[in-house]
Amino acid sequence: MAEPFSDILCPALAELSSYTPVAGDFAVRLDANEAPELLSAAAKQRLGEAAATLTWERYPDATSSQLRQALAGYSGVSTEEVLVGDGSDEIITMLLSTFSQARDRTGSALTMTCTPSFVMYRMSARVRGQRVLEVPLDASWDLALESMLRGLEHAAPNVIFIATPNNPTGNLVDHERLERLIRAAPTSLVVIDEAYIPYADRDQLDLYRRYENVAVLRTLSKIGFAALRVGWLIARPSLLAEIDKVRLPYNMNAPAQLLGTLAVTELAPEIRRIVSYVVTERERLSAALGALPGITVTPSQANFLWFRSERPAVELFEGLKARGILVRSFHQRGGRLANQLRVTVGTSAENERFLSGLRELS
């Protein structure tokens, strides 16, 4: 007997799975690229005091005006260049809904991205009936530019998503390769996802300022405020006016607007302190991890480390999990990912517990 509504469900659902984090209680969770618990007691008190002033019975500001202004100042752009969403994920869906017109006889829009990279680019496009061209990264986990250029010759994507620093590999993509890709795709919107840019040596705003087909995606989720679900897109005002037409009414709740504004203004020193701590720990953890036998670490510009083990990743993943330590493994994808794991940089104590667990398994 057929499942109810099977004849009218989105066909792409058959090939997809829900985005579901690993459930359970773990003493050390280093799997989700969140910032460690470093907010000061004074900052938490200030956030609580601010939340107490909210008018709970009223709808939030439909245009998120104060939050957009604060994020614009934080990013060094104008308020008119900022659109906010419920995390980067909502903005990705808004972009794909906006750029949904098919260019050819296939009848579906084309999205281009790399692999491995953030899975929501592919998932969000597929559930909208769009085609996705995923180009494998090269041996150094950088853009395989020539392969991407050949893909552009075959069909022009509506949107190209490039994460840099990339998740899960942690590296900044080569700036020259990225610029060549942008120049080769003048009719595609190139979205540079800078979710982890606070931890990097440089950003890509210069490319946004120089090329009309570039937009930049950012978030508060990686720098201590994941609970707020605040993401924002930096793009030309004329483009944002079109994207705003697909935005759901009141998409940003009042606490996120108020506390997100506070985070990037009054509490900006907290963010800088958190980032500084994580970068210092990242370098220490990278050196210690790389010194272990059979482990190779990819240099990171994010708040996590991507490393290869000579042993199957599943063995290390399960061994750490049994010790109450959760990291992210990619063994289920097979191929060159069968030996790859990703660990979020935690507090010094969390990092030491992870290293101790890994040494026990070596």
* C-alpha atoms less than 13 angstroms from C-alpha of 32 in its C-beta half-sphere: 17
Cα gap 278→199, rounded to integer Å: 8
Mean pLDDT within 217-228: 98
pLDDT at 194 over 90: yes
* C-alpha atoms less than 13 angstroms from C-alpha of 235 in its C-beta half-sphere: 22
Residues of the chain with CATH 3.40.640.10: 54-267
Residues of the chain with CATH 3.90.1150.10: 11-40+269-361
Cα gap 127→288, rounded to integer Å: 41
Portion of the chain with pLDDT greater than 90, in percent: 91
128 Cβ partners below 8 Å, 6+ apart?
93, 96, 97, 100, 109
Question: pLDDT (tens digit, 9 = 90+) per residue, 306-358?
Answer: 999 999 999 999 999 999 999 999 988 889 999 999 999 999 999 999 999 99
Mean pLDDT within 155-159: 96
pLDDT at 1 over 60: no
pLDDT at 183 over 80: yes
Q: Kindly report the average pLDDT of the chain as a whole number.
A: 96
Per-residue confidence (pLDDT) for residue 11, from 0 to 100: 87
CATH number of the 54-267 domain: 3.40.640.10
Fold of 11-40+269-361: Aspartate Aminotransferase, domain 1 (3.90.1150)
Per-residue confidence (pLDDT) for residue 181, from 0 to 100: 98
Per-residue confidence (pLDDT) for residue 21, from 0 to 100: 76
Cα gap 162→141, rounded to integer Å: 13
Q: φ, ψ for residue 229 (rounded to 5)?
A: 55, 60
Question: pLDDT (tens digit, 9 = 90+) per residue, 110-120?
Answer: 999 999 999 99
Per-residue confidence (pLDDT) for residue 2, from 0 to 100: 60
Per-residue confidence (pLDDT) for residue 6, from 0 to 100: 81
* Residue 292 burial class via C-beta count within 10 angstroms: exposed 0-12, middle 13-18, buried 19 and up: middle
The strand pair at 340-344 and 28-29 is best described as unpaired
pLDDT at 99 over 80: yes
Portion of the chain with pLDDT greater than 70, in percent: 99
28 Cβ partners below 8 Å, 6+ apart?
324, 325, 326, 346, 350, 353, 354
Question: pLDDT (tens digit, 9 = 90+) per residue, 196-221?
Answer: 999 999 999 999 999 999 999 999 99
Tell me the residue type at 109: A
Tell me the CA distances in angstroms from 154 to 77, 135, 150, 151, one per residue in order. 35, 13, 7, 5
